[in-house]
């Protein structure tokens, strides 16, 4: 297992902040549709489940692009790859401002998913290249805090902007953020002076993936992260409709609820050092799964819409207890092909992300919200209890 050379504290901090802002812009684009589902259904004359496909298209193509983007980042350079993807994301978001129907918006969301997928895994791999394992989960979590704020902002402000200006303005804001992220990388970050990069080729890409899967832990971690993505993100496209049925609230309130999940991730990021040092990875996974499960059961109960803000804040904290631990383990699957390893991590996570609404939608229609939420709650609780028994984690817990 190769150990990266420790970077000076100030340079590593700068790296994490700049890459975090890139992750912010990508994540903002990711979650902005969730509170707009009823609004877009009315705009285009489509059903709620059909509009929810906009979320699935983004997540699904985010996942499908990963096997190609990972080797590209390893070969041409992770920072260069991040910059190019953000420029493309800016372009597709601008085009979405002028979308005239459901199908054109669906295609643009799918294209946005592909290029947004080139930002986060490459950024994580860059941090993995430069941070020693003893500090890596902490540095990755600081990156995640900034990225999570982007998700929170995408969900929260898209609803507010849509209610006051219109949903097209949301796409314009996403384009500006992507352009800003690309400019920051270009002006402030420099590649490592002596990177060992293989030329981009099919043989090289396959060799990188062989290196990843030669680690016996790879299949297990990828399976777990796909299950996590399915269970954690199945309900988000339906939150606005559930809250509308319960309380008659609109996109602004739904955005606040969905955004609160990101705020829970921020709490996780602030507490990451004592969590890692005092609780350890095993207990973090267990606590995370049970916390998300408790959130699902709490959301089953009818109540004022604002009570869901606290519920989803707690769920977000639990989710990142799970996700942050899986992610740190994934950075060590293949140190010589870390870009490919993290791209596959994102691929499987977003395959789950895309599958979640496809599972939750039929359950909601067939069984109703209470039973559907209960099924997801039980499943994520079981995941939290079983995963530590399957993974070989070095830290106590």
pLDDT at 2 over 60: no
pLDDT value of residue 87? 96
Q: Is residue 31 within 8 Å of 154, Cβ to Cβ?
A: yes
CA pair distance 253, 167, nearest whole angstrom:
15
Percent of the chain at pLDDT above 70? 92
pLDDT value of residue 371? 95
Neighbours of 42 (CB within 10 A): 9
pLDDT at 8 over 70: no
CA pair distance 275, 269, nearest whole angstrom:
10
CA pair distance 117, 58, nearest whole angstrom:
9
pLDDT value of residue 89? 96
Q: Which two tokens stand for residue 193?
A: 């002076």
Q: How confident is the model at residue 193 (pLDDT cuts 50, 70, 90)?
A: low
pLDDT value of residue 197? 61
105-132 residues labelled b (16+ CB within 10 A) or e (exposed): bbbbbbbbbbbbbbbbbbbbbbbbbbbe
Q: How confident is the model at residue 72 (pLDDT cuts 50, 70, 90)?
A: confident
pLDDT value of residue 397? 36
pLDDT at 187 over 80: yes
CA pair distance 28, 15, nearest whole angstrom:
20
Q: Which residue has the higher pLDDT, 397 or 288?
A: 288
pLDDT value of residue 5? 46
pLDDT, average across residues 304-313: 91
pLDDT value of residue 246? 86
Q: Supply the mean pLDDT for the chain.
A: 84
pLDDT value of residue 194? 56
pLDDT at 338 over 60: yes
Q: How confident is the model at residue 220 (pLDDT cuts 50, 70, 90)?
A: very high
Q: Is residue 230 within 8 Å of 359, Cβ to Cβ?
A: yes
Q: Which residue has the higher pLDDT, 135 or 237?
A: 237
Q: What is the pLDDT of residues 94-151, one digit of tens each?
A: 999 999 899 999 999 999 999 998 898 888 888 877 777 667 767 777 787 787 778 7
pTM: 0.71
CA pair distance 177, 99, nearest whole angstrom:
19
pLDDT, average across residues 198-202: 66
Q: Which two tokens stand for residue 17?
A: 């902040």
Write down the residue that tokens 């700049």 correspond to. Answer: 18
Query: Which of the residue ranges 124-133, 184-193, 208-217 has the most confident prediction, judged by mean pLDDT?
Result: 208-217
Helix axes 338-367, 120-130, angle to 10 degrees: 140
pLDDT at 195 over 60: no
Q: Is residue 81 within 8 Å of 122, Cβ to Cβ?
A: yes
pLDDT, average across residues 345-361: 87
Q: What are phi and psi of 3, to 5 degrees?
A: -110, 120
pLDDT at 337 over 80: no
Q: Which two tokens stand for residue 385?
A: 């209890």
Q: What is the pLDDT of residues 246-305, one digit of tens each?
A: 888 877 888 888 888 878 888 887 888 888 888 888 899 999 999 999 999 999 988 888
pLDDT at 7 over 70: no
Q: Which residue has the higher pLDDT, 353 or 115?
A: 115
pLDDT value of residue 200? 65
Q: Which residue has the higher pLDDT, 99 or 66?
A: 99
Q: Is residue 105 within 8 Å of 121, Cβ to Cβ?
A: no
Q: What is the 3-state secondary structure (H, E, C) of the chain?
A: CCCCCCCCHHHHHHHHHHHHHHHHHHHHHHHCCHHHHHHHHHHHCCCHHHHCHHHHHHHHHHHHHHHHHHHHHHHHCHHHHHHHHHHHHHHHHHHHHCCCCHHHHHHHHHHHHHHHCCCHHHHHHHHHHHCCHHHHHHHHHHHHHHHHHHHHHHHHHHHHHHHHCCHHHHHHHHHHHHHHHHHHHHHHCCCCCCCCCCCCCHHHHHHHHHHHHCCCHHHHHHHHHHHHHHHHCCCHHHHHHHHHHHHCCCHHHHHHHHHHHHHHHHHHHHCHHHHHHHHCHHHHHHHHHHHHHHHHHHHHCCCCCCHHHHHHHHHHHHHHHHHHHHHHHHCCCCHHHHHHHHHHHHHHHHHHHHHHHHHHHHHHHHHCHHHHHHHHHHHHHHHHHHHHHHCCCCCCC
pLDDT value of residue 374? 96
Q: Is residue 126 within 8 Å of 211, Cβ to Cβ?
A: no
Q: Which CATH architecture has domain 9-189+198-390?
A: Up-down Bundle (1.20)
pLDDT value of residue 192? 63
pLDDT at 39 over 90: no
């Amino acid at each position: 297992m190769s150990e990266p050379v420790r970077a000076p504290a100030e340079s590593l901090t700068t790296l994490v902040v700049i890459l975090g802002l890139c992750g912010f812009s990508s994540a903002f684009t990711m979650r902005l549709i969730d509170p707009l589902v009823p609004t877009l259904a009315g705009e285009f004359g489509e059903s709620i489940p059909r509009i929810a496909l906009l979320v699935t298209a983004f997540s699904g193509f985010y996942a499908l692009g990963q096997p190609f983007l990972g080797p590209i980042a390893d070969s041409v350079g992770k920072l260069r790859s991040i910059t190019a993807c953000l420029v493309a994301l800016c372009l597709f978001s601008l085009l979405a401002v002028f979308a005239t129907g459901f199908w054109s918006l669906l295609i643009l969301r799918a294209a946005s998913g592909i290029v947004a997928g080139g930002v986060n895994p490459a950024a994580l791999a860059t941090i993995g290249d430069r941070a020693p394992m003893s500090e890596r989960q902490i540095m990755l979590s600081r990156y995640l805090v900034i990225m999570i704020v982007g998700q929170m902002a995408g969900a929260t402000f898209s609803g507010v902007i849509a209610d006051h200006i219109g949903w097209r303005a949301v796409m314009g804001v996403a384009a500006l953020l992507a352009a800003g992220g690309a400019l920051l990388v270009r002006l402030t970050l420099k590649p490592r002076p002596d990177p060992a990069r293989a030329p981009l080729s099919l043989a090289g890409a396959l060799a990188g993936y062989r290196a990843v899967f030669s680690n016996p832990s790879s299949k297990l971690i990828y399976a777990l992260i796909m299950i996590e993505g399915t269970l954690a993100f199945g309900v988000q496209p339906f939150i606005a409709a559930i809250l509308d049925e319960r309380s008659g609230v609109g996109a602004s309130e739904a955005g606040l609820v969905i955004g609160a999940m990101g705020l829970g991730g921020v709490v996780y990021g602030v507490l990451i050092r004592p969590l890692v040092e005092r609780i350890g990875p095993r207990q973090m996974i267990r606590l995370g799964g049970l916390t998300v499960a408790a959130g699902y059961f709490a959301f089953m109960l009818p109540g004022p819409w604002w009570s869901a803000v606290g519920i989803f804040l707690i769920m977000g904290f639990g989710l990142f207890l799970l996700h942050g631990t899986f992610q740190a383990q994934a950075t060590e699957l293949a140190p010589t092909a870390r870009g490919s390893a993290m791209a596959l991590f994102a691929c499987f996570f977003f395959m789950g992300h895309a599958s979640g609404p496809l599972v939750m939608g039929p359950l909601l229609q067939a069984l109703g919200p209470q039973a559907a939420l209960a099924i997801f709650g039980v499943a994520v609780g079981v995941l939290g209890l079983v995963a530590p028994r399957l993974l070989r984690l070095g830290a106590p817990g």
